[in-house]
Amino acid sequence: MKFLLLSAMLLLVHLVRAQTVAVDAFASLLNQTKQAQVIDVRTPAEFADGHLPNAVNINSQREDFRQALGELDKTRPVFVYCLSGGRSKAAAEKLRELGYPTVYELQGGYLKWSSKMMPVAGVTPSGDASQWTVARFDSLIRTQPVVLVDVYATWCAPCKKMAPIVDKLTTELAGQVTIIKANADTEKALLAQYQVDELPTLLLFRNGKLANRQIGFCDEAALRGLLKQ
Query: What CA dihedral angle connects 36, 155, 222 and 182, to 10 degrees?
Result: 130
Q: Is 82 a catalytic residue?
A: no
Torsional class of 99: left (φ above 0), alpha (ψ -120 to 50), beta (otherwise) = left
Catalytic residue selected from 159, 182, 190, 196:
159
Spatial CA neighbour of 40 closest among 109, 94, 98: 109
Q: Is 156 a catalytic residue?
A: yes
Tell me the three state secondary structure of residue 179. Answer: strand
- The length of the chain is 229
Distance CA 38, CA 56 (A): 6
Spatial CA neighbour of 161 closest among 123, 112, 195, 125: 112
Distance CA 91, CA 109 (A): 13
Catalytic residue selected from 39, 156, 166, 180:
156
Sheet with 209-215: list strands edge to edge: 178-183, 146-152, 201-206, 209-215
Q: Enter the DSSP assignment of 53.
A: T
Question: Are residues 92 and 105 in contact, defined by beta-carbon separation less than 8 angstroms?
Answer: yes
Q: Which residues are catalytic?
A: 156, 159
